[in-house]
Amino acid sequence: MYTAHFLMREKDLIEYVKTSTDLFEDEEELLWKDIGDGNVNYVSKVWSPASGRSVVVKQADTATRLSKRALDLDRNRIEAELLVYENKLAPGLVPEVYLYDPVMAAVIMEDLSGLQIMRYALMEEETFPLFSDNITDFMAKTLANTTDFVLPSAEKKALVGRFINPAMCDISERLVYTDPYFTPATNTSISPENLSFVNDEYQKDERLLDEVAALKLDFMTNAQALIHGDLHTGSIFVAQAHTKIIDPEFAFFGPIGYDVGNVLANLIFAWVRAYVRRDSNPTRNPEFLPWVQLAVEESIDQFIHKFGEIIKVRNTLGSFSTHSFQKTYLRSLVSDSLGVTGLEINRRVIGTAKVVDVTTIKPTGLRALAERILMEAAREFIINRTSFGSGADISETIRKIFEKSARWK
Amino acid sequence: MYTAHFLMREKDLIEYVKTSTDLFEDEEELLWKDIGDGNVNYVSKVWSPASGRSVVVKQADTATRLSKRALDLDRNRIEAELLVYENKLAPGLVPEVYLYDPVMAAVIMEDLSGLQIMRYALMEEETFPLFSDNITDFMAKTLANTTDFVLPSAEKKALVGRFINPAMCDISERLVYTDPYFTPATNTSISPENLSFVNDEYQKDERLLDEVAALKLDFMTNAQALIHGDLHTGSIFVAQAHTKIIDPEFAFFGPIGYDVGNVLANLIFAWVRAYVRRDSNPTRNPEFLPWVQLAVEESIDQFIHKFGEIIKVRNTLGSFSTHSFQKTYLRSLVSDSLGVTGLEINRRVIGTAKVVDVTTIKPTGLRALAERILMEAAREFIINRTSFGSGADISETIRKIFEKSARWK
């Protein structure tokens, strides 16, 4: 309805959703609320108290919301097109899209107010028995179906072109693959207890740096599948009966392990948080630690199983059809996922994009312990990623580091 | 000058080069000759007998020249843009471009009549002492400078998008990576002596098929550098003092080893041809076999050396700067190149796109011997590609197969 881009305010937004969707009557009273909490975009909820109907409007501006850094509006097209595509591949696991408007760089989509952001729910030690089934459905369906096993060659190449995403890839290349290893830590970026460990040992570990470089090059070159690109627990809405994945604005054709590793790492933040707080948390949920370990194991094991089933059934190329080839391929997905698990952990612990799961651990001694456990696990995941074959191997590694941590001073 | 695409004939072409370049006078008499010998495009030479000046016009039509198969005109844009780009990266090693005309899908470029097509020169056992230095210059400069070591992240991604090339990649995916392994050979596609070897043994070798599948997936996903994509000795013009690389219409961001492997394989065709004809060739050049072996070894060794120098000096990312990382990377280029050497050999020996180096060997018994030597070498290159570290390893493998071949009945 608008013919030139501007940042919509309350009245504009109410008018906009009335005109652009058929969910509301012309004369209906609508209310508006700013629900954005990310750095990048403007997110509003618009709803009718009378009908109870509601939508979310996500709009991109030419500068980011908080830091006011210039950022290409194209991220909004990528997000909207990907949401539509994901709705086809994994219906029910992403919000419905009512409108994508390239002029306004805006998407009107399903309101997920009934669900909560997974990161905060995990911090409260809430468990979600359906989560690993849902997230592995989402990943297997969106990832396997956009590989060369399934997509016709020319169709895939056209999609690769449509989802080239330089601005958002640049952010990941810096925040995930570079800064945690090349920007010295300070007393404000890491617990003081870990400062010399990071600066004098971790960032000087040449084996680690070379493996990170190999993973970075893979991120920059490997057009393996159309990945979500930012699949942490802040991009996942949960309820006991539902899981919805949002915010695919980092999407591009990249390594499958990038999505899987993000899920694993963010479950591990919740796991390590609960572990170090197990004796001091007054509202501890005794079922949480066993559940989160199981969720980690199932998220990789069920993913590999479901992914394997899809390519077995839907692969169209004789070349890729043997059991031995597919088995080797699936094994490489586990390794790649573990590598990224380590990278995502370090990004959040050492890098600038912290997660509250870790930063809010008190007292600070426990926070330092959690950071150290996480960094040790991350290094193991990155350097020895080809030796991991299943979720049980991950739990075993974490268990050993927990044991070892009891002996740290 | 023309406003809609049509296939230009003699008069149109003469008018076209007069109007579109400043190489000729308006009243100058120009002559025309069809010099196309490929399946795909129309290639003409237009020249002035008076001034001696000449140009080549390469025009694409909406159907291929010989087989009349529909083919996207976009290949012509890709070729022209790449020639311009290669002129910047490797000046002197590609023809100059005087005009690229997207409307006519035509390129007016430097006439290389003074040079000969390398394949035919090698069949005459002519040697080119500067060749390995020139071709490794070309490959190192065009390939290293289009990797993520050198190109800024966003610039590279924009180039990836500009050179997405589905139509031409589809041809390679079928002819190089599929047909030789899945289409049974017949008495017209291979020497009768090798028919059962191909159908009953070679195409049933599961280790070989799985390694070919891995290389195919790499071709379809690995945006490593902007490759030429068809770097066989029919795309290379040579003279004693010059080398010029033409026909980059298969270009896209793909695996570096694809270009290097094509060069190696096509030198090996000339090598094996000369070897099996060594006692029966009345015009044998005794210097040819030592030279072609040296050319193979230098083409990989000098390439790796020059590529390594470029990334050492021009790499802009801290992540990729360690000696150990670059060494591992260079080693992987050797493996990838050997894999493609094997694929290109099989494409030409088993597949439909034959090379005259092999098909013209007489008597047919020697042709069959050459085919068998080539297929044995190809399998070794593909399956054991990670064990090759240098050109000497290639020669050693070929020498052993020559020895073994003396015992074949």
Interchain CB distance below 8 Å, A318 and B214? no
Mean pLDDT of A143-159: 97
A285 has a chain B CB within 8 A of its CB: no
**Contact list, A212 vs chain B (CB under 8 Å):** 319
Contact B154 A170 (CB under 8 A): yes
Using an 8 Å Cβ cutoff, are A382 and A215 in contact? yes
Sorted by sequence, the CB contacts under 8 Å of residue A82 that are 6+ apart come out as A163, A226, A228, A248, A251
> Quick one: which of B76, B66, B158 has its CA closest to B353?
B66
pLDDT at A185: 96
Left, alpha or beta for B160 (phi > 0: left; psi -120 to 50: alpha)?
alpha
As a whole number of Å, the end-to-end CA separation of chain B is 64
A136 to chain B, any CB pair closer than 8 A? The answer is no
The DSSP element (H or E) to which B368 belongs, if any, is: helix B364-383
Whether residue A74 is predicted with pLDDT greater than 90 in this model: the reply is: no
Is B213 within 8 Å of A325 when comparing Cβ atoms? Answer: yes
A212–B contact, CB cutoff 8 A: yes
SS3 B54: strand
**Average pLDDT of every residue of chain B:** 95
Cα separation, B47 vs B23, in Å, equals: 10
Q: How big is the A-B interface in CB pairs under 8 Å? A: 108
Residues in contact with A85: Cβ distance below 8 Å, sequence separation at least 6, in sequence order: A226
Interchain CB distance below 8 Å, A209 and B181: no
**Quick one: DSSP state of residue B189?**
T
| Alpha-carbon gap, residue B142 to B253, rounded angstroms | 12
Amino acid at B2: Y
Range A191-214 burial, b when 16+ CB lie within 10 A, else e: bebbbebbeeebbeeeebbbbbbb
The shortest C-alpha distance from B159 to chain A (Å) reads: 10
Q: B216 — phi, psi (to 5°)?
A: -65, -45
Closest CA of chain A from B280, distance in Å: 40
Cα–Cα distance measured from residue B172 to residue B353, given in angstroms and rounded to the nearest whole number:
11
pLDDT score of A369 more than 90: yes
Q: What is the mean pLDDT of residues A232-256?
A: 96
Q: Is A166 on the interface with B (CB under 8 A)?
A: yes
pLDDT given at position A239: 97
- Adjacent-strand bridge partners of A108: A57, A99
* Residue A387 near residue A211, CB atoms below 8 Å: no
pLDDT in tens, A310-350: 999 999 888 999 999 999 999 999 999 999 999 999 999 99
B217/A320 touch (CB, cutoff 8 Å), yes or no:
yes
Are B44 and B34 in contact by the 8 Å Cβ rule? The answer is yes
* Smallest CA–CA distance from A226 into chain B, residue: B221
pLDDT of residue A72: 76
Indicate whether A208 pLDDT > 80. yes
Of all helices (H) and strands (E), which one includes residue A203?
none
| Torsion angle defined by CA atoms of residues A181, A187, A190 and A195, in that order, rounded to the nearest 10 degrees | 60
pLDDT confidence of residue B130:
97
Instruction: Classify B304 as helix, strand or coil.
Output: helix
Tell me the per-residue pLDDT of B16-47, one tens digit each, with 9 for 90 and over. Answer: 999 999 999 989 999 999 998 777 789 999 99
Q: Is the pLDDT of residue A71 over 80?
A: no
Contact call for A214 and B328, based on CB within 8 A: yes
A129-133, A162-166, A387-391, B69-73: range with lowest mean pLDDT: B69-73
Q: Where are the domains of chain B?
A: 10-110, 116-405
pLDDT exceeds 80 at position A67: no
Q: Which two tokens stand for residue B88?
A: 């910047």
Nearest by CB to B212, which of A173, A178, A319? A319
Residue showing tokens 């909560």 = A116
Q: Which has the higher per-residue pLDDT, B160 or A408?
A: B160
pLDDT tier for residue B70 given thresholds of 50, 70 and 90: confident
Contact A154 B167 (CB under 8 A): yes
Residue A151: closest C-alpha in chain B? B220
B354 residue type, one letter: K
Q: Is B50 on the interface with A (CB under 8 A)?
A: no
- Whether the CB of B371 is below 8 Å from some CB of chain A: the reply is no
Of B161, B322, B325, the CB nearest to A164: B161
- The answer to whether the CB atoms of A320 and B213 lie below 8 A apart is yes
Residue B350, pLDDT score: 97
Percent of chain A with pLDDT over 70: 100
Torsion-angle region of B52 (φ positive above 0: left; ψ -120 to 50: alpha; else: beta) = left
Domains A10-110 and A116-405 belong to one CATH topology: no
Cβ neighbours of B181 in A, within 8 Å? 319
pLDDT band at B67 (very low <50, low <70, confident <90, very high): confident
Name the pairing type of β-strands B225-227 and B236-238.
unpaired
| Per-residue model confidence (pLDDT) at position B318 | 86
CATH, range A10-110 = 3.30.200.20
B220 chain-A contacts, CB cut-off 8 A? 148, 153, 156
Is A258 an interface residue toward B (CB < 8 Å)? no
Q: Are A307 and A260 in contact (CB under 8 A)?
A: no
pLDDT tens digits for range B241-258: 999 999 999 999 999 999
3-state secondary structure A125-168: CCCCCCHHHHHHHHHHHHHHCCCCCCCCHHHHHHHHHHCCCHHH
Answer whether A386 touches B (CB < 8 Å). Answer: no
A216 touches B at CB < 8 Å = yes
Tens of pLDDT along A281-301? 999 999 999 999 999 999 999
- The dihedral through the CA atoms of A315, A321, A325, A327 has a sign that is positive
> What ipTM describes this predicted complex?
0.94
* Top-tier CATH class for A116-405: alpha beta
Report the distance separating Cα A409 and Cα B23, nearest Å: 81
A98 class by beta-carbon count within 10 Å (0-12 exposed, 13-18 middle, 19+ buried): middle
Q: Report the pLDDT value the prediction gives residue A232, as an integer from 0 to 100.
A: 98
Question: Most B CBs within 10 Å: which of A147, A210, A383, as the mutation test of the B interface?
Answer: A210
Preceding amide of B363 cis, omega within 30: yes
Contact B176, B351 (CB under 8 A): yes
Band (pLDDT 50/70/90 cuts) for residue B76 is confident
Q: Are B14 and B30 in contact (CB under 8 A)?
A: yes
A394 to chain B nearest CA, in Å? Answer: 26
What distance lies between CA B279 and its chain's CA centroid? 30
Contacts of B401 (CB under 8 A, 6+ apart): B373, B376, B377, B380
Residues of chain B contacting residue A214, judged by C-beta atoms under 8 Å apart:
325, 328
CB contact at 8 A, B237 and B243:
yes
pLDDT at position B395: 98
Interface test with B, best of A178, A319, A321 (most B CBs within 10 A): A319
Contact status, residue A333 vs residue A171, Cβ threshold 8 Å: no
- The mean pLDDT value for B274-303 works out to 98
Q: Does position B333 have pLDDT exceeding 90, yes or no?
A: yes
Two structure tokens written together for B359: 């098909």
Tokens describing residue A266:
């963010």
Cα A96 from Cα A110, distance rounded (Å):
5
Residue pair A141/A227 in contact by the 8 Å Cβ criterion: no
d(CA A225, CA A333): 12
Sequence length of chain A is 409
Cβ neighbours of B170 in A, within 8 Å: 153-154
Spell out the alpha helix ranges (H) of B103-191: 118-123, 131-139, 153-162, 166-175, 179-182
How confident is the prediction for chain A on average, in pLDDT? 95
Tell whether A240 lies on the interface with B, counting CB pairs under 8 A: no
Q: How many angstroms separate the CA of residue B254 from the nearest CA in chain A?
A: 9
**A333/A300 Cα distance (integer angstroms):** 9
CB atoms within 10 A of CB B73: 15
Q: What is the model's pLDDT at position A2?
A: 87
Of B148, B154, B319, the CB nearest to A212: B319
**Looking at the DSSP assignment, which residues form a beta bridge with residue A163?**
none
Give percent above pLDDT 70 in chain B: 100
CA pair distance B321, B313, nearest whole angstrom: 9
Rounded CA separation B351/B177 (Å): 10
